[in-house]
């Protein structure tokens, strides 16, 4: 583990913050915290914490001693001074004399002693920082340290590695009890540089921010050296998986399996998926003893809120035998959820007060030959679960390389999983209407595509944009944190590849906005057949092609879905010389109805938007081809007045798609967005 402290940078940061009124102790603590937080082998997503004891002036002008400690769940890598709320130290230290303290009283006392009443909740490990005497304290769940302590003889190994440099604290869940225990252990070894919290992590402390940081690095480095000396060859499994199905085929099956019926009939509480397949992951899953070490429990307690204590292990999916795989996966999932419910019942029987069960679904699945699948309520959450699972795999592999991985006891896992202060880290904000759903938008780089991307992202959906302009679609996708795919929808191979990427990235698809189009014109009596065919290729067949690709994913998920088509007023109200455009659009309007008819029983709705007279947006979007540019009708004709006399924009069209996506009882409908055009009204 490299020491990355650069004194010049630390001083520069302190000077910068000084200008903003931040005291130097806090600024240097921020510098060290970010260094630690930026190293994934030390800290993962909201884990770890740091503190500094310093003086601050309160509102009366009195100087008070405070503990500035990381806010609960905050990300160390990007922490700012306000992420280290200041708590009156005397108020915290006064608690040390109590024989016991409830979590509620602990949190309340911490909040009551904040200098700023609006500050975030201090870390659940605040009292541990307060009860130790050192000015600067750092705490991480360093992988190498966990690999040493997560052993049946972890205490002996750590004693041999650390000697007097670090004292050993037996496992206890975080909170008041652990804070008192850590201080007792420290008092038996007052010259130590840090504490090893068995099966949890490591503390290091110092008189300066630099000393506390450097001791953390040095102590972790000792663990890494011990591991590299002791590492023996990892045993590999004998049986290699057979010819495997593609990830893009397996992903929607798995995503569908973990969707739960919710609310009204046909409503689902879905999850978003992420797939990882590095060599360390594949080796781990291929290990002959994977059932033992993968199911032993978490590598550090707070991981349990992200990954549960066990992954779901599935069989290798054979190519061409996906029905068999689905049956096997269903059975494995049923066994997993039954096992989780039994664990809950067993542990809850001894729990006072009784807890409410969390959902029994896995957040991590392991598939031989394919890697790991992480699940969460958003792509971000799924990625966090996968990151933590990858960390666990690294720690367990190292632990197994020097001995045998062992986690905390089941009762201890339950205590942390159902600890209100851990669950609070996940947040309970109300979810947006399209949270947990994935939308694909063709014509994604055009004005309507971009407006749809914004509207659907704002409604909580994960967004994939497809457009033949790869650079533009990449930019558009980046602006909403989505996936941008270069794809010409008139090319079957490109469509298949794009939808495979969507499945690999998010696990599947719930909503399609088939929006790509372009205008061709010509008097119908004389227009060349090739012009008609070209227009049909994009304005009809491409819609059918992407709808089929979307449908395949939706049917594999078995959780319904929504197909939305951008037809045009041309579909019902032809304009002169615009037959080559209107004819395929009319066919696409009927295509939308055919999907509604044929796949309503699958829970799939199909609707269309009839947009017209969009201010410049639709024209630039639809008239992208050179051919169209040469023949396009004047913009003026499109922008002529409408009944409401209101300007219609791409954002209005996007809102219509969003309304249809949310209209759970509406299918085979056409929605006009034209400010009123009685000649185009459906009759
Ligand atoms: Zn911790």
Encode pLDDT of 22-55 as tens digits. Answer: 999 999 999 999 999 999 999 988 889 999 999 9
pLDDT per residue as tens digits for the range 61-81: 999 999 999 998 789 999 999
Active site residue: 31, 418, 581, 638, which one? 581
CA of 455 to the centre of ligand 1 (A): 39
Asked if 604 and 426 count as a contact pair (C-beta separation under 8 A), the reply is no
* Interval between CA 180 and ligand 1 midpoint (Å): 15
Confidence of residue 285 (pLDDT cuts 50, 70, 90): very high
Range 456-483 average pLDDT? 97
Average pLDDT of 561-569? Answer: 95
Query: Which band of pLDDT confidence, cut at 50, 70 and 90, is reported for residue 266?
Result: confident
E strand residue ranges, 390-530: 438-442, 462-467, 483-486, 511-514
Is the pLDDT assigned to residue 618 strictly greater than 80? no
What spacing in Å lies between the alpha carbon of 153 and ligand 1's midpoint? 21
Identify the pLDDT of residue 633: 46
Rounded to the nearest angstrom, the distance between the alpha carbon of 411 and the centre of ligand 1 is 18
Q: How many residues does the chain have?
A: 683
d(CA 311, CA 294): 7
Q: 117 C-alpha to center of ligand 1: Å?
A: 25
Q: How confident is the model at residue 82 (pLDDT cuts 50, 70, 90)?
A: very high
Mean pLDDT of 522-549: 97
User: Which carries the bigger pLDDT value, residue 230 or residue 450?
Assistant: 450
What is the distance in A from the centroid of ligand 1 to the CA of 466?
A: 43
pLDDT at 625 over 80: no
Determine what percent of the chain is predicted with pLDDT higher than 70: 94
Q: Centre a 10 Å sphere on the Cβ of residue 577 and count the other Cβ atoms it contains.
A: 14
Q: Residue 140 Cα, ligand 1 centroid: separation in angstroms?
A: 6
Would you place residue 616 in the very low, low, confident or very high pLDDT band (cuts 50, 70, 90)? very low
State in Å: Cα 181 to ligand 1 middle.
Answer: 14
Asked if pLDDT for residue 127 goes beyond 60, the answer is yes
Tell me, what's the pLDDT at 242?
73
Residues 6 or more apart from 545 whose CB is under 8 A from it?
Answer: 489, 492, 495
Mean pLDDT, residues 629-633: 45
The pLDDT confidence band at residue 646, using thresholds 50, 70 and 90, is confident
Look at the block and give the residue holding tokens 């005397």: 90
Note the pLDDT tens digit of each residue in 300-346.
998 999 999 999 999 999 999 999 999 999 999 999 999 999 999 99
pLDDT tens digits for range 141-198: 999 999 999 999 999 999 999 999 999 999 999 999 999 999 999 999 999 999 999 9
The predicted structure's pLDDT at residue 47: 87
- In the reported structure, the alpha carbon of residue 7 is separated from the centroid of ligand 1 by a whole-number distance in angstroms of 27
293 counts as catalytic: no
pLDDT at residue 420, rounded to an integer: 79
- Give CA–CA dist 284/304, Å, rounded: 19
Pairing type for strands 364-367 and 312-313 reads parallel
Tell me the two tokens of residue 392: 């666990």
Q: What is the pLDDT of residue 525?
A: 97
129: CA distance to ligand 1 center in Å?
11
- CB-based contact 141:47 (threshold 8 Å): yes
Ligand 1 mean position, distance from CA 112 (Å): 23
CA of 188 to the centre of ligand 1 (A): 21
Cα 142 to averaged position of ligand 1 atoms, centre (Å): 10
Give the chain's mean pLDDT: 92
pLDDT of residue 679: 86
In degrees rounded to 5, what are phi and psi of residue 567? -95, -165
CA 353 / ligand 1 centre spacing (Å): 24
Which position has the token pair 């590598």? 299
Q: How far apart are CA 372 and CA 254, in angstroms?
A: 11
Mean pLDDT to the nearest integer, 263-273: 91
Q: Which residue has the higher pLDDT, 385 or 73?
A: 385
pLDDT of residue 630: 45
Q: Which two tokens stand for residue 608?
A: 């269309």
Helix or strand (DSSP H, E) at 403: none
Tell me the CA–centroid distance for residue 202 and ligand 1, in Å.
8
Which residues lie below 8 Å from residue 128, measured CB to CB, with a gap of 6+? 139, 174, 178, 179, 182, 183, 203
DSSP for 158-171, written as a single string: HHHHHTTSEEEE--
pLDDT of residue 352: 83
pLDDT in tens, 538-559: 999 999 999 999 999 999 999 9
Exposure string of 106-119, with b = 16+ CB inside 10 Å and e = fewer, is bbebbeebbbeeeb
Per-residue buried b or exposed e for 512-540, using 16+ beta carbons within 10 Å of the residue's own CB = bbbbbbbbbbbeeeebeeebbebbbebbb
Instruction: Specify the residue for token string 């008819």.
Output: 597
Helix, strand, or coil (residue 28): helix
What sections of 154-208 are H helices per DSSP?
Answer: 154-162, 176-188
**Six token digits for residue 338:** 């039954």
- Tell me, what DSSP letter sits at residue 540? I
Identify the weakest region by mean pLDDT among 227-231, 293-297, 429-433, 576-580: 227-231
- Report CA(124)–ligand 1 centroid distance (Å): 9
**pLDDT for the residue numbered 619:** 43
The pLDDT > 90 percentage for the chain reads 84
Confidence of residue 621 (pLDDT cuts 50, 70, 90): very low
Q: Are 65 and 41 within 8 A, CB to CB?
A: no
Strand, helix or coil for residue 364: strand
The sign of the torsion formed by the CA atoms of 80, 82, 83, 85 equals positive
Dihedral class, residue 212 (left if φ above 0, else alpha if ψ from -120 to 50, else beta): alpha
């Amino acid at each position: 583990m490299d020491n990355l402290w650069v004194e010049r940078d630390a001083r520069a940061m302190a000077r910068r913050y000084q200008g903003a009124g931040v005291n130097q102790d806090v600024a240097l603590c921020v510098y060290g915290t970010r260094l630690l937080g930026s190293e994934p082998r030390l800290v993962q997503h909201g884990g770890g914490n740091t503190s500094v004891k310093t003086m601050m002036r309160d509102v009366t002008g009195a100087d008070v001693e405070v503990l500035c400690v990381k806010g609960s769940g905050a990300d160390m890598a990007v922490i700012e001074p306000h992420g280290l709320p200041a708590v009156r130290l005397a108020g915290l230290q006064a608690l040390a004399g109590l024989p016991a303290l409830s979590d509620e009283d602990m949190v309340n006392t911490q909040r009551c002693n904040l200098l700023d009443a609006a500050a975030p909740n201090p870390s659940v490990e605040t009292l541990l920082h307060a009860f130790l005497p050192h000015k600067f304290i750092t705490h991480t769940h360093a992988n190498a340290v966990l690999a040493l302590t997560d052993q049946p003889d972890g205490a002996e190994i750590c004693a041999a590695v650390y000697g007097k440099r670090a004292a050993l604290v037996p496992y206890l869940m975080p909170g008041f009890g652990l804070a008192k225990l850590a201080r007792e252990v420290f008092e038996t070894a007052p010259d130590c540089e840090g504490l090893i919290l068995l099966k949890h992590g490591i503390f290091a402390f110092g008189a300066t921010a630099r000393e506390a940081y450097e001791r953390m690095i040095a102590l972790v480095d000792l663990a890494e050296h011990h591991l590299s000396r002791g590492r023996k060859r990892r045993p590999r499994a004998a049986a290699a998986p057979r010819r495997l199905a593609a990830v893009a085929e397996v992903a929607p099956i798995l995503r569908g399996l973990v969707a739960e019926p919710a609310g009204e009939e046909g409503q689902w509480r879905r999850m978003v998926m992420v797939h990882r397949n590095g060599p360390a992951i594949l080796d781990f899953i291929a290990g002959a003893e994977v059932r033992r070490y993968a199911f032993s429990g978490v590598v550090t307690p707070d991981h349990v809120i992200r990954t549960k204590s066990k992954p779901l292990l599935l069989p290798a999916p054979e190519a061409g035998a996906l029905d068999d795989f689905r049956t096997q996966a269903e059975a494995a999932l049923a066994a997993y959820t039954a096992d989780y419910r039994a664990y809950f019942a067993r542990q809850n029987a001894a729990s006072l007060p009784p807890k409410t069960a969390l959902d029994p679904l896995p957040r991590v699945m392991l598939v031989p030959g394919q890697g790991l699948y992480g699940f969460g309520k958003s792509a971000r959450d799924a990625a966090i679960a996968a990151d933590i699972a990858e960390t666990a795999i690294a720690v367990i592999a190292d632990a197994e390389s020097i001995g045998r991985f062992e986690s905390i006891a089941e009762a201890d896992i339950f205590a942390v999983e159902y600890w209100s202060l851990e669950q609070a880290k996940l947040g309970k904000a109300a979810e947006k209407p399209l949270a947990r759903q994935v939308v694909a938008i063709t014509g994604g780089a055009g004005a309507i595509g971009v407006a749809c991307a914004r509207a659907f992202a704002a409604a909580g959906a994960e967004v994939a944009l497809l457009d033949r302009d790869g650079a533009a679609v990449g930019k558009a996708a980046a602006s909403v944190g989505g996936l941008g795919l270069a794809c010409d929808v008139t090319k079957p191979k490109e469509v298949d590849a794009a939808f495979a990427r969507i499945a690999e990235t998010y696990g599947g698809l719930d909503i399609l906005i088939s929006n790509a189009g372009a205008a061709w014109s010509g008097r119908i009596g004389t227009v060349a057949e090739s012009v008609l065919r070209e227009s049909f290729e994009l304005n009809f067949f491409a819609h059918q092609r992407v709808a089929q690709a979307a449908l395949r994913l939706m049917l594999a998920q078995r959780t319904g879905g929504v197909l939305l088509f951008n037809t045009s007023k041309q579909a019902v109200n032809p304009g002169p010389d615009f037959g080559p455009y209107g004819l395929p659009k009319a066919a696409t309007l009927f295509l939308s109805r055919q999907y509604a008819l044929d796949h309503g029983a699958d829970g799939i709705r199909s609707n269309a938007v009839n947009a017209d007279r969009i201010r410049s947006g639709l024209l630039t979007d639809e008239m992208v081809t050179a051919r169209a540019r040469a023949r396009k009708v004047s913009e003026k004709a499109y922008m002529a007045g409408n009944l409401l006399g209101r300007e219609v924009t791409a954002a209005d069209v996007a809102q219509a798609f969003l309304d249809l996506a949310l209209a759970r009882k509406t299918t085979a409908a056409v929605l006009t967005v034209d400010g009123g055009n009685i000649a185009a009204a459906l009759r």
